[in-house]
Chain A
Amino acid sequence: MPDSKRFLRPEATQRIRRLELTARRVVEGFLSGMHRSPYFGQSVEFLQHRQYATGDEIRHIDWKVYARQDRLVIKQYEEETNLRLHLMVDRSASMDYGVGERNKFEYAASLSACLAYLALRQQDATGLFTFDTDMRASVPAKSNRYQLGRILTALDEVGTGERTDLPRVAKQVTQAIPRRGVVTIVSDLLGVDNLLEGLRVMRARGHDVALLHVLHDDELDFDFDGATRFEGLETPDFLNCNPRALREGYLEAMNHFLEQTRRACGRLMIDYVQVRTSEPLDAVLAKFLTARKSLPNLRG
């Protein structure tokens, strides 16, 4: 639950404002380059008409009905009425790596804000869960105009420094979600136990799962120099070493992990997008949405 007092803290307010502005800027910029609005969903079956409301897309007006009945109605498709976007944002300690906008959590929050903004802009109900060792914040999916603020408020701080039990968190999340929807996990997947099991839990409930694997450039390149003492963010482990001596082995392990994750997602038909915190948010959005469109329409 968001701490109401934090609402009053100037830095919290500033942060929320910043996220909103970032999301707006990125998404509007992203959309301005597109001819059609991106769809989170894949189905385009006509479901019903509804009365035209101010702000609806002109292109969705059924002109035949207007011609016959002289009233403006909107065609509704199946996905529009059924799309619920649930964002699962990892706020474990491992996400607190990086500085400024390149901080993984900040980046994940910005990315999540952008996704939320985009979905809410399209009147898609969007909710948010944050988790670390447990589910922390929970914002039920809604599509009203206060929803973004609620979501952004929930993306407050990084959490504790222990390992994440993803199946347990996934169970909690799925229990909190009454109907099937799109679950987008934004995490670095570091310090996550039983990742595959956790993802399977999500898919078992029929959710359309997407995974945005956010990693810092350092974690991907390991371009460190000089004697360094590495101290775990989530564990008490530390290591004094010459990073260059360990780089090759580290990259090998990291690449193996990424490959395993990618394959697991492939097997579970989970959209997997690896994201560097140095990547521009709009590019990530484009990558993400493109990946979503290219996957076959097999759900359930």
Chain B
Amino acid sequence: MFLFPALTLGFLFVGVPLLVHLINMLRHRRQQWAAMDFLLASYRKQKKWIILRQLLLWLTRTAVAALLIAMLCGWVSGGRLLGALGGRTTHHLVVLDDSYSMADTSSGGQTYQRALAALRSLTERLAASEGQHQLTVLRSSRADLVTRGQTSAGDAAADLSVQTIMGDSRLIDRVMATSPSPMSVDLVSGLRLAGELIGKTPADETVLYLVSDFRSRDWQTPERAAEVLEGLSADGVELRCIDTATSPASNLGVTKLEPMADVWVAGVPVVIQTTIKNYGASPVTNVNVAARVIRYGSAAKTADPTRQFSGVVEPLPGVVIERLEPGQEAVRQFQVFITDPGTHAIQVSLPDDALATDNSRSCTLPLSDAQRVLIVDRDPEGLGAYHVASVLNPGSQVETGAIPDVRSTSFLRSATLDDLRPYRAIYIIDPEEITQNSAAALAEYVDEGGGLAWFLGASAQPQKLNEALLAEGRNLLPGALASTIEQSPVENAGSDVVMAGSHPLTEPLEPLGDAAFGRVGLVETWNLDSDDPRLSLLNPVREVLNRRDGLPFVRQHQVGRGRVVTVLAGLDGNWTNWRGDPTFVVFLLRANAFLWSGAAVESSRAVDDAIRLTLSDGRYARTVQVLTAANEPPRIAVEMQAEKSDAGWELVLDPQEAVIAGNADVESMLVPGVTELWVSRIDGQAEVRPLASAVQPGEGDLRRVDQPTLLRDLQPTTIQFFSTEEVLEQSSGGGGATTTLVLLALLGTLLASEQALAYWASYHPPRGGGAS
């Protein structure tokens, strides 16, 4: 109703004319009069007219006062009234980009706050305009979450859905209280959802506003957005873009943080690798990367919402990046040594810059006790197993985290999946054949994430092995075993074994090159038939090591969640002396870590991914206390009840579902950092499951799209571009011009009427004349 409701107190002044009239009545000048007869005669004759004139004059003066106050208060209903008399309904739909690049503070304030200011200005201007205006506001993060769920619940995603603009500023208060999300989303989802909402909302006119920072990264492939915009334009929707960003300042971002694939065992140092990217346009020097570890395990007995983490925070030695060129990434590694088993968390952070959201990243590090590995050696002497075991468990207080368990082939022959599950990896050395049952068990084991390594020597029977290991889509070999092929020694030919390319298994040896294998002899290996029809690998086989002649020596492939490493030579020493070479130790340790990490859980999740927790109902209670990540304490602890499922108790925290359900706590789910899930064991002991949430990298690239290029790319769709300043200026300048004119005209008419009535009521000085 009024743009400045606080000034409506001025309507009390409408009573001033009446007050003045009453005061004047009390302040009549007394005059003794002789010719009362004539005066009374005149009064009696004109009494009715006098009262009428007085009344009209008072009413006119009151109306003038009321109108003046209404104009000062920014009365806007007139426009709506004018609109309601035959006006048009306009639906304004705002797609508000709240991806985390909108947290950019290059201009001093957040780009998102500039967007909100533009939204408020737009709303105020529409409130003062003629006609009926309806407003819908849709944030891109919510649109993306809803769209992912493949539901068209546009109303659920919208913060405001087809609300009539009344001039009440509280309409958009809820939106004004939002902040940029930590999600990395483009605007296509929002545009699609906007299109759906527009289709469901009848209006005489529709205007779509795209309020965004228009980063070049989001518009590199504008075809999808162009398609949606073209469709909207064809439906008669007016398209306007409000660019809220300014020239970007420099920004560094942590794009990756994860423990290196290795054995993650308590008491064994783990290497953490982090990647820092310079998104800015100029090089940076001496960048301090701070790191810290948050120890849980025995260090965190109970949830403590008063602190940012319930675990013990310990700083780690910082890492310095001497120089980082624009657009380049720097990878740094640091070691973490924790003796306490359990899931711990690692966090790195950069100094503050234009975009704080990507300056910090977390990951978890699940450390287990030493894990058993199964070594099955056909050789009754166990020479091959000995070499493998001695690498994995060298003794002398050197811990690799592996506890070798050497068994004979008979064990494998009767092994079931449950027998294999306790082992973190399985090494099968020089098998002759594998039974179908064993192969089935192995296939399941690998598919669940277990690691399997083959050392195929002379004893291997290719046909039987192929039948067992490739049947029924088990894909436990990288190819069908064909025949063995000798490799003749060639003088001065270099090493018999060469690296096939970059692979985690040979990464430490890459700086040395093939010369590292200079003392490895290889005279014969199995060859593989990659075209065997029984093979149905979903992922390509990776070459790790080749023979000098290019034939395969070591191959690696993925089966389900697990990994398989195949060495096409045995460890009996007949075909190769590799077992005694130092490179074998490096290879085997890397292979062990590689095989173990197949079953490793993700060390972090994207902030918008669902959190799923499955608990054994025989060991845990169903109540879970959730402390979501927070930038600073205190944190809010929420008790949730896990649902019964086939696997036991299952708890799902899905931001998608929360948005659709209209859950107000969606934002708290999306905070990057360490979320703690506290579960209770049946014995009453509390146990924490930390989860690291991280933002998707890339939003830190703050480079702006070239508008002319964008407009060209979006052709033939006609789009108007506005800056935030232009929107703000439009709001302060006008709005409701017609209403103001009408009010002014009405005021002028009333003032003229007041003067005329005052003259009629003889309040104006006389023009002379008297009795004669």
The one of A188, A225, A246, A254 that contacts B765, using a Cβ cutoff of 8 Å: A225
Q: Is there contact, CB below 8 Å, between A241 and B36?
A: no
A interface SS class: mixed
- Is residue A1 contacting chain B, with contact meaning CB distance below 8 A? no
Q: In chain B, residues 723-772, which have Cβ atoms closer than 8 Å to a Cβ of chain A?
A: 761-766, 769-772
- Is residue A283 contacting chain B, with contact meaning CB distance below 8 A? no
In the complex formed, the residue of A with least CB distance to B42 is A249
Q: Is there contact, CB below 8 Å, between A246 and B770?
A: no
The one of B42, B50, B53 that contacts A252, using a Cβ cutoff of 8 Å: B42
- Is residue A237 contacting chain B, with contact meaning CB distance below 8 A? yes
Q: Is there contact, CB below 8 Å, between A258 and B771?
A: yes
- Is residue B29 contacting chain A, with contact meaning CB distance below 8 A? yes
Q: In chain B, residues 29-70, which have Cβ atoms closer than 8 Å to a Cβ of chain A?
A: 29-43, 45-46, 50, 53
Q: Is there contact, CB below 8 Å, between A190 and B34?
A: yes
CB distance from A273 to the nearest CB of B (A): 14
Identify the interface centre among A95, A229, A250, A255: most chain B CB within 10 Å of its CB. A250
B2-44 CB contact bits vs A (8 Å, 1 = yes)?
A: 0000000000000000000000110111111111111111110
Chain B: how many interface residues by the 8 Å CB criterion?
33
Q: Which interface class (under 10, 10 to 19, 20 to 34, 35 or more) fits A?
A: 35 or more
- Is residue A266 contacting chain B, with contact meaning CB distance below 8 A? no
Q: Is there contact, CB below 8 Å, between A245 and B771?
A: no
Chain A residues with Cβ under 8 A from B34's Cβ?
93-95, 97, 104, 188, 190-191, 216, 219, 232-234
The one of A242, A249, A257 that contacts B761, using a Cβ cutoff of 8 Å: A242
Q: Is there contact, CB below 8 Å, between A229 and B770?
A: no
In the complex formed, the residue of B with least CB distance to A94 is B34
Chain A residues with Cβ under 8 A from B40's Cβ?
237, 239
Chain A residues with Cβ under 8 A from B769's Cβ?
221, 251
The CA-CA distance from A223 to B772 in the complex, in Å, is: 14
Q: Is there contact, CB below 8 Å, between B35 and A190?
A: yes
Chain A residues with Cβ under 8 A from B766's Cβ?
223, 244, 247
Known A-B contacts A222-B770, A225-B765; A231 and B32 likewise in contact (beta carbons under 8 Å): yes
Q: Is there contact, CB below 8 Å, between B39 and A246?
A: yes
CB distance from B47 to the nearest CB of A (A): 10
Chain B residues with Cβ under 8 A from A245's Cβ?
46, 50, 53, 761-762
The one of B25, B35, B41, B50 that contacts A219, using a Cβ cutoff of 8 Å: B35
Q: Is there contact, CB below 8 Å, between A228 and B29?
A: yes
The CA-CA distance from A237 to B33 in the complex, in Å, is: 10
CB distance from B450 to the nearest CB of A (A): 106
- Is residue A226 contacting chain B, with contact meaning CB distance below 8 A? yes
CB distance from B640 to the nearest CB of A (A): 78
Q: Is there contact, CB below 8 Å, between B771 and A221?
A: yes
The CA-CA distance from A109 to B31 in the complex, in Å, is: 23
Q: Is there contact, CB below 8 Å, between A241 and B770?
A: no
The CA-CA distance from A235 to B765 in the complex, in Å, is: 29
Chain A residues with Cβ under 8 A from B24's Cβ?
227
- Is residue A175 contacting chain B, with contact meaning CB distance below 8 A? no
Q: Is there contact, CB below 8 Å, between B36 and A235?
A: yes
| Listed A/B pairs (14) with beta-carbon separation below 8 Å | A93-B34, A190-B35, A217-B770, A219-B35, A223-B770, A226-B29, A231-B32, A232-B34, A234-B34, A240-B28, A241-B43, A244-B763, A253-B37, A253-B41
Name 4 extra pairs, CB < 8 A, besides A226-B29, A250-B42: A222-B770, A228-B30, A237-B40, A241-B39
Please report A residues at the B interface, Cβ cutoff 8 Å. Answer: 93-97, 104, 188, 190-191, 215-217, 219-235, 237, 239-242, 244-255, 257-258
Q: Enumerate the 5 nearest inter-chain pairs by beta-carbon distance, A residue then B residue, closest first.
A: A249-B42, A221-B770, A244-B762, A94-B34, A253-B38
